[in-house]
Structures are given as C-alpha cells and as structure tokens.
Structure 1
C-alpha cells in the first residue's frame, strides 16, 4: 500500500551534465505518479549529504540542496522523511556525521541505518488505499 523512495544521489553523481535538479525532480515525480496510478501512497526521503566522496563538488551540493528544498516543501511526495537532517554532521551539514559514515562518505554505516529507522515515522504508512499491482 505504500512505497518508500530514497533515490537521487546517483542521479547527481553519474554525469555532471545530467545533474539538473529539475530532471531529478521530474524523475521522482514520475515515480510518484506511477505509484499513485496503482493506488500506492509514496513516502520519500531527502538526499543525504556526501561531501568527502570523490564525486562531491560545490555544484553537485547545490543540486542536492535544491532537490531537498523541493522535497521538504511538499512538492514531490505524499509524506517525507528527512534523512539529510537526521544524518548530517552538525559542524558541516554537507557531510554525514562521522559516526554514521560507512567510510565512503556516501553510504551510512549500521549506526546510520539505525538512525534512519529511528527517524522514520511509521504513522506515514497509514492512510494508504488498496494497491493494484
């Protein structure tokens, strides 16, 4: 009845010419539209920080922030979980908190995944209709 979407960083990292926030947001909205057509509610996550990763640049950071602003504003998903806020380093919000970083500066470690589970509000799963798969 509910799908959770945690996508977007790969779209920013792959090809710098394709790291267009409007294209990424368009792709996310297409996923949501397709899910809605099947009666699914969509909970989406903000994009987590990745400074320190070999692909990070200030331009890509700006794209990530633009996408997150639109997600937080409610312009993409039915409900939002803010993994960016939960896992970012309070001293440098462009980075994962060191204790949540697997070491590649992109993926959370076990403690980071535990924090993600902690901040995911299970009430966002309520109110979904009958899915037609």
Structure 2
C-alpha cells in the first residue's frame, strides 16, 4: 500500500509494482500474493485491517480483470521483531481471519499456520526464523514450498482482450 524507504532504492509498493511484476507478464494464469506485514509495520496510526484488506482486494480485482486466479498467503507471525506490538498483532490476526474465510483471494496458502511457533503462535518457529523475527529462514521457505498446494494453481487463465 505504501512505498517504503531502503533497499531497493525505489522500494515501490505492491500496488505500484503489480502491473510490472505480474499483470504485464505473458502466459500468466495464476498470481500468488504474499503482502501485508510491511503495511502493518509502516502504519503509524495503526488504522486496523481495513486499508490493508482494501489494497489486497484491489490487487485481486486487477488480476481478475486479466482473467487471473489469485492465491493469497496468510500473514506470518513477527513477534520479536522490533516493530511488533499487541495492537499490530491484532491487525495481523484480523487480516488472516478475512483471508481464511475466503473473503480476499480465490485460494489460500496458510503460511502463518505452517511457520508459527506452536508454543507462541505470534512468533515464527525458531528454526523457521532467519534471525530478524520477520523473514523465514531457508528451512522456513522450504516448509512454505511443502505446504503450498500446487492444485491451487489450476483453473486460472488469461482473459481474452
């Protein structure tokens, strides 16, 4: 939703780069979206989930307009990261509830469930944590690949333009 600072230098928002990254590609049938945590972290007012969900739904509408199916990921836990707060956790949980209820994407990859620590579901499981409490480790990414249901990639296709 919001452009960020840092690397890459432009750090363009998902809304700003979706056309370039997904919609302008040839022979695309399905797009996978894993966005939202940075928006929670960058929102100084912490408005709640509505603005983030609206942004995700905008991406879905744009993809659907091109005849693309959209698989979306739940937002992974990030307790331990310097930006984590109970209020931000509540927003993450609300967004995940909407995603799991089928009110955002055509299909869901539940990366939250796959990578969370069973002893503290607000955190990444220690062996799935890269060390910054936000990004998965190599083992975490391998687990994401294992739980991603490849059958969700079927049924998409380009719209006739």
Q: Same fold (TM over 0.5)?
A: yes
Matched, 1:86 2:114: yes
Runs (5+) with no aligned partner, structure 2: 1-28
Over residues 86-120 of structure 1, what are the superposed CA-to-partner deviations in whole Å (9 max), with x where a residue is unaligned? 00000000000000000000000100000000000
Q: In 2 relative to 1, CA 104–37 (structure 1 residues): closer, same or farther, beyond 3 Å?
A: same
* Counterpart residue number, 1:64: 92
Q: Is 1:123–2:144 an aligned residue pair?
A: no
User: What displacement does 1:129 show?
Assistant: 2.1
In structure 1, how many angstroms separate the alpha carbons of the residues matched to 2:159 and 2:111?
Answer: 26
Q: Which runs of structure 1 show a deviation greater than 3 angstroms over 4 or more consecutive aligned residues?
A: none
Name which one, 1 or 2, has greater alpha-carbon Rg: 2
Q: After TM superposition, give the deviation of residue 20 of structure 1 in Å.
A: 2.2
User: How big is the shift at 1:36?
Assistant: 0.2
Provide structure 1 residue ranges, at least 5 long, that are not aligned to the other structure. none
SS in 1 for 2:45: helix
Q: How many residues align?
A: 133
Maintained 8 Å contact 1:2/1:125: yes
- Report whether the alignment pairs 1:3 with 2:31: yes
TM value normalised by structure 1: 0.97
Determine if the alignment matches structure 1 residue 30 to structure 2 residue 58: yes
Q: Is the contact between residue 53 and residue 104 of structure 1 (CA under 8 Å) also seen in structure 2?
A: yes
* 105, 110, 115: which one aligns with 2:138: 110
Q: Give 1:17 deviation, angstroms.
A: 1.0
- Tell me which protein shows more helix as a share of its residues: 1
